[in-house]
Structure 1
Amino acid sequence: MLQQYTKEFRYNLKLATPVMLGMLGHTFVGLVDNIMVGQLGTAELAAVSLGNSFMFIAMSLGIGFSTAITPLVAEADGENNFASGKSAFKHGLFLCTTLGIALFLLILVAKPLMYLMKQPSEVVELAIPYLDLVAFSLIPLVSFQALKQFSDGLSMTKYPMYATLVANLVNIALNYILIFGKFGFPQMGIVGAAVGTLASRFVMVIFLWVFLKNKEKSTSYVTHIKFFSLERKMINRIIALGFPSALQMFFEVAIFTAAIWLSGILGKNSQAANQIALNLSSMTFMVAMGLSVAAMVRVGNQKGLQHFVDLRRIAISIFLLTFLLAVVFALVFVLFNDLLPRIYLDIEDTKNMADNTEVIAIAAKLLVIAALFQISDGIQVTVLGALRGLQDVKIPTLITFIAYWVVGFPISYYLGLYTEYKSSGIWIGLLAGLSVSALLLYLRFNALTKGLIQKN
């Protein structure tokens, strides 16, 4: 019985691993920024956290919207329908690039909100110039996501990973030179980190386009494209899938962003600790995101073939694999909860020793709670991927809203600001929201796939 699921593990990992590494590459940009900026002080780390909180919201909408491309391309690939696949890619890339420009402009308009959010004034002053540059990087980032989702839909998951790895090398080099002022360059502090992020995201787009243009399977899709010859039917189809998917990701990312803002109300040390725990848990979450893409692609293929029994079996095998990996990550967080936060701060810095010690103590507590939600977070995102593969997005959007904003946020708000739990209380709310989301989404998937099997 169990073997029918475990026999899929190898192929699932083969498909998902490049996606995981590529997604980890995105997070690694943040990790490098945080570690290097952390050497400047806790105020600078909190400023990057505050600036990125705006970015996370915009990125969630862009990345969430782009996921509409993958199931459409995967289904077309399963049906061997080239025209449909190319149309999905062309319209998806056009819409994502347009969305990236709109999100950049939206962040510029929203910047003054920082002064109204009861954040430490020194943190806001540092965050504003950082955000100006990082916001512009949304345009290449969302365009890259369109290329990536298309590549994933064709089961060509390695090439986005390669592009992301190259971009990370660019980011690390520029960060080192510009943050600290090496090789004759001016010392730019956190603005240097923003420049590195911006440049690396342009590099990602260029490299992935070159990879796809030179591969036999994808070259005919990505060349000779008439970008402004658009069809209303395909635009509507992508928006119908992409808009709810964007909202799903927005609802989840927004509650984590709310955690950053609530932590800022508690003070810069709570905000810095929240950023450390969030960055570490984001890295493990990217593994689940890789498996979510595998679920989306494989479920989309099976949907195209009308093989619903295999569809359900393959999806459950991915859920099981996610659960096992999440347990391993949970154990790492519990065993090393005091050690991991020390990576981010200069513990030899006598001037900031009191602040650094407090940040490490708070972050260590948060990592224990993060260990608990590894499992529910992993399950909810992989089930969401399977549902996107089925092109079922409306009910899951409602589920994610209820889980995060009817259940999770009120708990975070109350426990964080009105009880002695403070930062830990904020994260208990996150745990509650993720757990409710995982349960309700699985019940949705279970009912849907059983219904498809019975109809077939």
Structure 2
Amino acid sequence: MFTGITPKASNPKPFPLFKRYTREFRYNITLSVPVILGMLGHTFVAFADNIMVGQLGTAELAAVSLGNSFVFIAMSLGIGFSTAITPLVAEADGAGLKEDGKRALKHGLVLCTVLGISLFGLILLMKPLMYLMDQPPEVVVLAIPYLDLVAFSLVPLIMFQAFKQFSEGLSQTKYPMYATILANVLNIILNYLLIFGSFGFPKLGIVGAAIGTLISRFVMLAFLWILLNKKKKFHFYVTGFNFKVLENKVMKKIINLGFPSALQMFFEVGIFTAAIWLSGVLGKNPQAANQIALNLSSMTFMFGMGLGVAAMIRVGNQKGLRDWGELRRIAQSIFFLTLILEVGFAILFLVCRFWFPTIYLDVDDITNQADNMEVIALAAQLLLVAAFFQISDGLQVVILGALRGLQDVKIPTGITFIAYWLIAFPISYYLGLHTQLGSTGIWIGLLAGLTASAIMLYLRFNYLTRKLALEAAGSSE
């Protein structure tokens, strides 16, 4: 049995307060690092894309931002839905029920495939919205052909997510990382060849970046399936599927977990997408600056996402064992580790906020020098705000992962809606479009929403786990 459960210490002597939590750091880091590296790989490719596309001009960079804003919304639904597989597999693993883990993978894979195809079709139908969003016309013209190809890449990506979430549910986080690293290396190579037309390849600009993304995601899916299929320890889980026989009970359970989880991610990605659109109303330079700050923030956010997966796995294991005291201690240990890490990122953003934006643009480009300098100055202002929301952003995603491990998804969905759309969006809209703050005002709204989300989600986790522990104690008496 694969398990993410650490053995209890044989020494009954109580641990000092901090050691109760810090002794879990090593295992939590070991579990989360492959996830973080895999997610960072995706973000690093976007980082490399932005640097390469940024050399073409600020309009091209804004076009990639606009096109990806549609894809990110659909991707959030697909990835959020697929996270339902992990707690089900982790709980089955903790309880020693291998058949239940296999059922979760089979039914999850079917649902993810259908969802990926559906989201691709939905994006194609939504393309005309670009002309109605008050975006710069030259940006829209560039964004549409880019969007067509990147939207299709959602199909293999969401199918990949089904296998990834299954593997992570068994605490085997390194295999999806291998597939992601391979795909990302391929993506960067293809992007370089096709964006600039190097080594005899056609010069396709941002369409070349889209082709690289599409090919690499198909390779990523194929590689992970082959890898899992060849590993003996996965043989029982990934072979002998009969897709003609689907159980309504299992389908319903995944949908009941997956749909609220998809909405949670949709609400958060949606508010950052709204920030892209609001920045576009201010002009192509604010939109390009927003893309730079968003890309940098996304890279640090992946650390929180990885720790959130670790929280989901370990909480799911303890749920299978019904050990609520250990569940609280382990989850709080991950929260504490996240806090320490995110404070470090906040300091990094504060110190390097003027230098980071210069990585994305050619500061020696005389033709576009005025635009480039404006974008760098705007991005530095946004990174100042981003430094402060590192802490709340990291904590909210890790606490959300712990709640998913508990399979508590409905109330957290309501919390994320309130935080992002009843708190963050009105503030971003007013400060961004109706005050002199502009782009900075948009990001102040994001800070307010993320902080509200972190506080409310923690209160929910604390209430729920205390209640479960008390109920368990009462039933044992």
- Shorter chain as normaliser: what TM range? over 0.9
Give the Cα–Cα distance (whole angstroms) in 2 for the partners of residues 83 and 30 of structure 1. 38
Give the Cα–Cα distance (whole angstroms) in 2 for the partners of residues 217 and 262 of structure 1. 49
What is the match of residue 10 of structure 2?
none
What is the match of residue 403 of structure 1?
419
Following TM superposition, by how much is the alpha carbon of 1:151 offset from its aligned partner in structure 2, in angstroms? 0.5
1:80-91 aligned at under 5 Å gives the runs 80-91=96-107
For each residue in 1:302-326, what CA deviation from the matched residue of structure 2 results, as whole angstroms up to 9, or x when unmatched? 0000111000000000000000000
1:222-261 aligned at under 5 Å gives the runs 222-261=238-277
Give the Cα–Cα distance (whole angstroms) in 2 for the partners of residues 28 and 237 of structure 1. 34
Give the Cα–Cα distance (whole angstroms) in 2 for the partners of residues 30 and 225 of structure 1. 35
Q: 2:414 is aligned with what amino acid?
A: L
What is the match of residue 367 of structure 1?
383
Give the Cα–Cα distance (whole angstroms) in 2 for the partners of residues 370 and 25 of structure 1. 21
What is the match of residue 152 of structure 2?
136
1:114-263 aligned at under 5 Å gives the runs 114-263=130-279
Task: Give 1:431's match in structure 2, choosing from 447, 450, 463.
Answer: 447
Q: 1:81 is aligned with what amino acid?
A: L
What is the match of residue 378 of structure 1?
394
For each residue in 1:384-416, what CA deviation from the matched residue of structure 2 results, as whole angstroms up to 9, or x when unmatched? 000000000000000000000000000000000
What is the match of residue 93 of structure 2?
77
Following TM superposition, by how much is the alpha carbon of 1:147 offset from its aligned partner in structure 2, in angstroms? 0.6
Following TM superposition, by how much is the alpha carbon of 1:229 offset from its aligned partner in structure 2, in angstroms? 1.4
Q: 2:284 is aligned with what amino acid?
A: K
For each residue in 1:204-240, what CA deviation from the matched residue of structure 2 results, as whole angstroms up to 9, or x when unmatched? 1011111111222212211121123100000000000
Following TM superposition, by how much is the alpha carbon of 1:439 offset from its aligned partner in structure 2, in angstroms? 0.2
Give the Cα–Cα distance (whole angstroms) in 2 for the partners of residues 108 and 232 of structure 1. 30
Give the Cα–Cα distance (whole angstroms) in 1 for the partners of residues 280 and 53 of structure 2. 18
Q: 2:125 is aligned with what amino acid?
A: V
Unaligned 5+ runs, structure 1: none
SS at match of 2:200: coil
For each residue in 1:39-86, what CA deviation from the matched residue of structure 2 results, as whole angstroms up to 9, or x when unmatched? 000000000000000011000000000000000000000011011000
Give the Cα–Cα distance (whole angstroms) in 2 for the partners of residues 278 and 228 of structure 1. 43
Q: 2:384 is aligned with what amino acid?
A: V
1:59 is aligned to 2:75: yes
Give the Cα–Cα distance (whole angstroms) in 2 for the partners of residues 20 and 289 of structure 1. 7
Give the Cα–Cα distance (whole angstroms) in 1 for the partners of residues 235 and 79 of structure 2. 23
What is the match of residue 4 of structure 2?
none
Give the Cα–Cα distance (whole angstroms) in 1 for the partners of residues 135 and 315 of structure 2. 44
Q: 1:74 is aligned with what amino acid?
A: A
What is the match of residue 310 of structure 1?
326
1:279 is aligned to 2:290: no
**Aligned pair count?**
456
Unaligned 5+ runs, structure 2: 1-16, 473-477
SS at match of 1:183: helix
Following TM superposition, by how much is the alpha carbon of 1:158 offset from its aligned partner in structure 2, in angstroms? 0.3
What is the match of residue 7 of structure 2?
none
Give the Cα–Cα distance (whole angstroms) in 2 for the partners of residues 172 and 225 of structure 1. 35
Q: 2:435 is aligned with what amino acid?
A: T
Following TM superposition, by how much is the alpha carbon of 1:183 offset from its aligned partner in structure 2, in angstroms? 1.5
SS at match of 2:198: coil
Task: Give 1:37's match in structure 2, choosing from 40, 53, 57.
Answer: 53
Give the Cα–Cα distance (whole angstroms) in 2 for the partners of residues 32 and 133 of structure 1. 18
Following TM superposition, by how much is the alpha carbon of 1:25 offset from its aligned partner in structure 2, in angstroms? 1.1
SS at match of 2:263: helix
Give the Cα–Cα distance (whole angstroms) in 1 for the partners of residues 183 and 236 of structure 2. 25
For each residue in 1:172-212, what CA deviation from the matched residue of structure 2 results, as whole angstroms up to 9, or x when unmatched? 11001100001211100000000000011011101111111
1:319 is aligned to 2:340: no
Following TM superposition, by how much is the alpha carbon of 1:425 offset from its aligned partner in structure 2, in angstroms? 0.1
What is the match of residue 9 of structure 2?
none
TM-score, structure 1 length as denominator? 1.00
Give the Cα–Cα distance (whole angstroms) in 2 for the partners of residues 214 and 6 of structure 1. 36
1:292 is aligned to 2:312: no
Give the Cα–Cα distance (whole angstroms) in 1 for the partners of residues 154 and 184 of structure 2. 16
SS at match of 1:228: coil
Give the Cα–Cα distance (whole angstroms) in 2 for the partners of residues 137 and 242 of structure 1. 21
Give the Cα–Cα distance (whole angstroms) in 2 for the partners of residues 218 and 325 of structure 1. 33
For each residue in 1:240-263, what CA deviation from the matched residue of structure 2 results, as whole angstroms up to 9, or x when unmatched? 000000000000000000000000
1:50 is aligned to 2:66: yes
